[in-house]
C-alpha cells in the first residue's frame, strides 16, 4: 500500500499568489522558452552497463541500512536515473550527458556522493527539495529536464531510500558539473522560479480511496517515479504538463499523447491489456509492436528491471483510464498470412493479406524494396525479431511524427535480459523526401487507420532539417529504385520480373526445388551494393564462364541458379517468366558497357591468407545468424509454415550454390551483407563481421549437409578448379 505524506510541504503553500505571479510570468514570457529548450532537447545517450546500477559494495552498513539501500537501488531504477546521469559508462551517475536544445546544450549533473563535485554534502532535506522542487542545495533552479514535477509525488520512504542508495552505495566520482551552454536570455534561471510558482504541483501522491492497492501502486509509479506524463501528456502554454494526474476535471488529458523530440508519444489510455503492457515494459515488445525513440532507453535502463507485480500494476492502472475522443482504440494484431496474394486494389487490407497495390504504386514498390525484408509483404513482421505493422500503434496515430523520425534517423531495439540481441533499423535519409512520403502513405493506407491523412513531402523536409538527418554515404553506390519501373513502357513486364526475383519459390514451383528466392542472395531484388546486385549485369553477357568452360548467355546464367542454387529445373527460354526476368536485368543495365567497372557490383573480396576456424564459425552462427536462419540452419517460418528466411543447410537449402560453392566467396558475401538489422548501414542495417569472422561462419554453414548437384562433375572442363571450392 502506498502511504500519503502526513505533512504538507511548506513550499509555495499560498496558492492564491498564483494569479499575481501569472501576470508577472506573462511579462517575462521569453524566459518561459527556457522550458521550450528543455522539452525539445535531444539527449546524446551513452551505453551503460545493462546488468545493474552502480554499487560501491560498501561493507560498513548495518543490515537495516543494506535493506534501505537496496530499496533505493530499486527506486533509482523506477526513476531511470542512470540513463540521464551517465555520460561515461566507467563513471556511472557522474553526469555530463549532453542534452541538445535549439538554444544550446545542457549537461546532466553529478549525483554521486562526491562532496566537492557531486551531492555528497546534501542533507536529506536539501535532496528532497531538489527532487520535488528542482532547487539545488545552493538555491539555483534546475531545468525541468530533470522531471521534478513528477518526482514531487514520491513518498517520503522512497525519497529516503533513494538518498541512502546514492550516498552509501554509488561510488563517489570527482567530476565537476559542466556549465550549460545556453545563450541569453535562456541562461537566466530565475525565470524557472516563476514557472514553478505558476505550474508546479508539489503535493506527494495521495492514494485514491475507492481504488485497491494494486491500482494505486500503478498510479504512483506512472504519475511519479516513472514520469510517464513528461512525454505522454499534452503540454500547455507554458509547456507544462496540462495535468499531473488522471483525477480531477483535467484528468482526461493525462497520458493522452504528445509529440516530443520529433517522436509521437502515443496515448497510453486503455491501450492494451494489462499483461500486454507489462510485456512491452519488460521486453520492449509485444504482439502489437516494439518500442522506439526514448522508450528504448526507458525499457533498457528502467522498466525491464521492475518486478512483475509492479509491471502488472502499471498495466492495470493504464487499462483503467478511459479513452478520450482523441485517443486511439486498442488494436489487436492477427496471425501471419501468405507472402504474396493480392486481394484488393488499394486501401486498408485484412490481417495476413498483401496490399493489391504493392506492385502498382510508387509507395508500394518502395515499401517492397526497402521495408518488406523485415516487415514482410503482408506487414506481419517476424516473430521475436521485427515488429508487425498490423495494428501497430505508430501507424494508427494521426500524427506521423514518429514514423517520419524513424525513417530519417533509424531505430534500435532495447537491449534487455530477455532479448540480448540489439536489433536495428538503419536511417533511410538517403531516400528523398518524396520517396519517404510515398512509402509512409502507402504503409498508412494499408495497415493504418482508414481516415489517416496524407503525409506531405514538406513535413519530411522540415523533420530532416530539425533532426539533422544525413544520408549514409559510406560508399558511392546509388541504389536503383524499383518505383521507377512504373515510368517505363513495359512496366508490367518489369514488375513481373521483380516479383519473380522476390517470390521465386512460390511463383515458379516447377523450377525451384527448395525454399530459395533470387532475393535470398541478390538482396532487395538485386539492388544492394556488394549483395551481387543486378546493376549493369546484362551488359556483361554473353561472356565466358570458367565453370561451364564456354560462352554463356544471361538466360544460361539464370538457369544455372535454378539448377545449382535452387535444386530445380531450367526455365524455358521463351517463357514469359524468363523474358520478364531478362527484361528486369536489362532495365538494371542503365548505361553500362561491357568494359565498364560498376561500383558495388559483385560481393567484394576476403583476405586469402586467413585460415577458417569452424568452431568459431559455429559460435558466430549461434550469436549472429540463428535468429533469422534457425538454430539448426532450418530457416524461419511464419505461423502458417511458410518460409520467411531461407534455410542454410538441410534438404530445403541451396545445393552447391552459384556463389556459396566457394568458401571465400561465401565469406565475402557474408562480410558485406550479414547479419541484417545488426548495424546502421543503408538499406538493411547489414554487415559488422570481420574478415576472419565471416570466413569462419561461411566455412561452418557452407560445409553442412545439403542437396547434391550430380552434373557438377562436368564443371571446370578447361580451367583449374578453385582451391576453396566445396567439391
pLDDT tens-digit series, residues 383-427: 778 888 887 778 888 888 889 999 999 988 887 877 777 789 999
Mean per-residue pLDDT, 200-226: 93
Q: Which residues contact 492 (CB under 8 A, 6 or more apart)?
A: none
**Rounded CA separation 609/691 (Å):** 11
Cα dihedral 36→38→42→44 (10° resolution): 160
d(CA 592, CA 52): 56
Q: What is the pLDDT of residue 383?
A: 79
pLDDT at residue 282 greater than cutoff 90: yes
Q: Which of 242, 231, 243 is nearest to 296 (CA)?
A: 231
Average of per-residue pLDDT across 210-231: 95
Average pLDDT over every residue of 447-457: 87
Band of residue 577 on the pLDDT scale cut at 50, 70, 90: very high
Least confident of 170-179, 335-344, 441-450, 679-688: 335-344
Mean pLDDT of the chain: 86
Residue 309: per-residue pLDDT: 95
Assign 623 to helix, strand or coil: helix
Q: Is the pLDDT of residue 196 over 90?
A: no
Angle (deg, nearest 10), helices 433-447 and 362-370: 90
- The percentage of residues in the chain with a pLDDT greater than 90, rounded to a whole number, is 61
Q: Does position 566 have pLDDT exceeding 90, yes or no?
A: yes
| pLDDT value at residue 333 | 33
Indicate the pLDDT class of residue 58, thresholds 50, 70 and 90.
low
Nearest alpha carbon to residue 111 among 63, 72, 68: 72
Q: What is the pLDDT of residues 124-154, one digit of tens each?
A: 999 999 999 999 999 998 888 789 999 999 9
How far apart CA 366 and CA 316 sit, in angstroms, is: 40
For residue 469, what pLDDT band results from cuts at 50, 70 and 90?
very high
pLDDT digits (tens, 9 = 90+) for 246-262: 998 899 999 998 887 77
Does position 283 have pLDDT exceeding 60, yes or no?
yes
Q: Is the pLDDT of residue 550 over 70?
A: yes
Dist CA 226 CA 298 (whole Å): 9
Does 100 or 170 have the greater pLDDT score?
170
Output the furthest CA–CA distance in the chain (Å, rounded).
98
- Cα gap 204→224, rounded to integer Å: 9
What is the Cα–Cα distance from 63 to 404, expressed in whole angstroms? 52
Mean pLDDT lowest for which of 13-22, 224-233, 370-379, 712-721? Answer: 13-22
Residue-level pLDDT at 349? 66
- Write down the pLDDT at residue 287: 79
Determine the Cα–Cα distance for residues 727 and 715; give it in Å rounded to an integer.
10
pLDDT value at 40 more than 60? no
Cα gap 29→411, rounded to integer Å: 36
pLDDT at 403 (0 to 100): 92
Give the three-state DSSP class for 62.
coil
- Kindly state the percentage of the chain with pLDDT values over 70: 87
Average pLDDT of span 155-159: 96
Cβ-based neighbour number of residue 453 at 10 Å: 11
More confident residue, 157 or 389: 157
Task: Yes or no: say if 305 and 79 are a contact pair by the CB < 8 Å rule.
Answer: no
CA pair distance 441, 647, nearest whole angstrom: 34
Instruction: Give the span between the Cα atoms of 409 and 388, in whole angstroms.
Output: 20
Q: How confident is the model at residue 59 (pLDDT cuts 50, 70, 90)?
A: low
pLDDT at 29: 46
Least confident stretch, 238-252, 519-533, 548-562, 577-591: 238-252
Least confident of 334-348, 480-494, 571-585: 334-348
Give the three-state DSSP class for 64: helix
Judge if the upstream peptide bond of residue 185 is cis by omega within 30 degrees of 0.
yes
> For residue 140, what is the DSSP state?
P
pTM (2 decimals)? Answer: 0.71
Q: Say how far apart CA 271 and CA 322 lie, in whole Å.
A: 9
User: What are residue 274's phi and psi, to 5 degrees?
Assistant: -60, -40
Does position 184 have pLDDT exceeding 50, yes or no?
yes
Confidence of residue 327 (pLDDT cuts 50, 70, 90): low
Q: How confident is the model at residue 18 (pLDDT cuts 50, 70, 90)?
A: low
Angstrom distance (rounded) from CA 85 to CA 94: 6
Per DSSP (E only), the strands in 399-526 are 411-412, 424-425
Q: How far apart are CA 501 and CA 537, in angstroms?
A: 15
- One DSSP character per residue, 411-440 reads EE----SS--S--EE---TTS-HHHHHHHH
Amino acid at each position: 500500500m502506498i502511504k500519503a505524506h502526513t505533512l504538507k510541504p511548506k513550499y509555495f503553500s499560498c496558492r492564491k499568489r498564483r494569479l499575481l505571479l501569472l501576470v508577472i510570468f506573462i511579462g517575462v514570457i521569453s524566459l518561459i522558452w527556457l522550458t521550450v529548450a528543455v522539452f525539445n532537447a535531444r539527449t546524446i545517450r551513452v551505453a551503460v552497463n545493462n546488468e545493474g546500477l552502480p554499487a560501491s559494495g560498501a561493507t560498513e552498513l548495518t543490515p537495516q541500512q543494506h535493506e534501505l539501500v537496496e530499496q533505493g537501488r530499486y527506486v533509482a531504477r523506477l526513476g531511470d536515473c542512470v540513463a540521464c546521469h551517465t555520460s561515461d559508462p566507467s563513471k556511472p551517475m557522474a553526469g555530463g550527458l549532453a542534452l541538445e536544445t535549439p538554444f544550446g546544450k545542457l549537461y546532466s549533473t553529478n549525483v554521486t556522493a562526491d562532496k566537492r563535485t557531486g551531492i555528497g554534502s546534501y542533507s536529506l532535506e536539501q535532496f528532497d527539495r531538489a527532487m520535488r522542487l528542482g532547487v539545488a542545495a545552493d538555491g539555483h533552479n534546475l531545468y525541468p529536464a530533470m522531471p521534478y514535477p513528477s518526482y514531487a509525488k514520491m513518498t517520503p520512504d522512497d525519497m529516503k531510500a533513494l538518498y541512502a542508495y546514492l550516498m552509501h552505495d554509488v561510488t563517489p566520482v570527482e567530476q565537476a558539473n559542466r556549465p550549460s551552454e545556453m545563450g541569453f536570455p535562456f541562461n537566466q534561471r530565475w525565470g524557472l522560479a516563476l514557472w514553478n510558482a505558476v505550474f508546479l504541483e508539489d503535493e506527494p501522491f495521495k492514494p485514491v480511496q475507492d481504488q485497491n492497492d494494486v491500482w494505486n501502486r500503478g498510479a504512483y509509479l506512472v504519475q511519479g517515479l516513472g514520469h510517464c506524463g513528461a512525454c505522454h501528456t499534452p503540454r500547455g502554454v507554458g509547456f507544462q504538463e496540462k495535468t499531473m494526474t488522471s483525477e480531477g476535471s483535467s484528468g482526461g488529458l493525462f497520458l493522452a499523447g504528445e509529440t516530443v523530440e520529433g517522436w509521437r508519444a502515443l496515448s497510453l489510455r486503455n491501450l492494451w491489456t494489462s499483461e500486454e503492457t507489462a510485456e512491452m515494459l519488460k521486453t520492449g515488445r509485444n504482439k502489437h509492436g516494439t518500442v522506439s525513440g526514448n522508450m528504448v532507453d526507458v525499457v533498457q535502463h528502467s522498466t525491464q528491471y521492475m518486478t512483475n507485480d509492479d509491471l502488472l500494476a502499471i498495466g492495470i492502472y493504464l487499462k483503467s483510464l478511459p479513452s478520450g475522443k482523441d485517443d486511439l482504440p486498442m488494436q489487436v494484431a492477427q496471425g501471419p498470412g501468405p507472402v504474396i496474394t493480392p486481394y484488393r486494389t488499394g486501401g486498408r487490407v485484412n490481417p495476413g493479406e498483401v496490399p493489391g497495390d504493392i506492385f502498382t504504386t510508387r509507395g508500394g514498390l518502395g515499401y517492397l524494396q526497402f521495408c518488406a525484408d523485415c516487415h514482410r509483404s503482408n506487414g506481419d513482421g517476424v516473430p521475436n525479431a521485427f515488429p508487425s505493422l498490423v495494428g501497430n500503434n505508430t501507424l494508427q496515430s494521426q500524427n506521423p511524427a514518429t514514423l517520419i523520425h524513424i525513417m530519417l534517423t533509424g531505430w534500435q531495439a532495447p537491449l534487455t535480459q530477455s532479448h540480448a540481441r540489439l536489433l536495428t533499423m538503419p536511417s533511410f535519409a538517403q531516400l528523398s523526401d518524396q520517396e519517404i512520403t510515398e512509402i509512409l502513405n502507402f504503409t498508412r493506407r494499408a495497415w493504418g487507420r482508414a481516415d489517416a491523412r496524407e503525409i506531405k513531402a514538406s513535413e519530411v523536409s522540415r523533420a530532416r532539417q530539425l533532426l539533422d538527418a544525413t544520408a549514409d554515404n559510406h560508399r558511392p553506390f546509388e541504389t536503383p529504385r524499383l518505383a521507377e519501373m512504373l515510368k517505363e513502357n513495359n512496366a508490367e513486364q518489369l514488375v513481373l520480373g521483380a516479383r519473380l526475383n522476390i517470390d521465386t519459390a512460390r511463383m515458379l514451383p516447377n523450377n525451384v526445388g527448395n525454399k530459395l528466392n533470387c532475393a535470398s542472395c541478390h538482396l532487395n531484388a538485386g539492388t544492394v551494393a556488394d549483395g551481387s546486385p543486378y546493376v549493369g549485369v546484362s551488359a556483361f553477357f554473353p561472356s565466358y564462364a570458367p565453370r561451364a568452360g564456354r560462352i554463356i548467355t544471361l538466360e544460361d546464367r539464370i538457369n544455372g541458379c535454378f539448377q545449382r542454387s535452387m535444386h530445380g529445373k531450367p526455365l524455358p527460354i521463351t517463357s514469359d517468366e524468363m523474358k520478364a526476368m531478362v527484361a528486369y536485368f536489362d532495365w538494371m543495365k542503365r548505361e553500362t558497357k561491357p568494359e565498364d567497372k560498376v561500383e558495388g557490383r559483385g560481393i567484394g573480396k576476403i583476405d586469402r591468407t586467413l585460415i577458417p576456424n569452424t568452431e568459431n564459425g559455429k559460435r558466430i552462427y549461434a550469436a549472429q545468424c540463428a535468429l533469422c536462419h534457425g538454430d539448426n540452419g532450418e530457416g524461419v517460418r511464419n505461423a502458417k509454415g511458410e518460409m520467411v528466411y531461407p534455410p542454410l543447410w538441410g534438404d530445403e537449402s541451396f545445393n552447391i550454390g552459384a556463389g556459396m560453392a566457394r568458401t571465400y566467396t561465401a565469406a565475402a558475401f557474408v562480410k558485406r551483407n550479414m547479419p541484417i538489422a545488426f548495424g546502421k548501414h543503408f538499406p538493411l542495417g547489414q554487415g559488422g563481421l570481420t574478415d576472419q569472422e565471416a570466413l569462419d561462419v561461411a566455412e561452418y554453414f557452407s560445409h553442412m549437409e545439403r542437396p547434391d548437384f550430380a552434373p557438377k562433375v562436368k564443371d571446370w572442363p578447361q580451367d583449374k578448379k578453385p582451391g576453396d571450392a566445396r567439391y
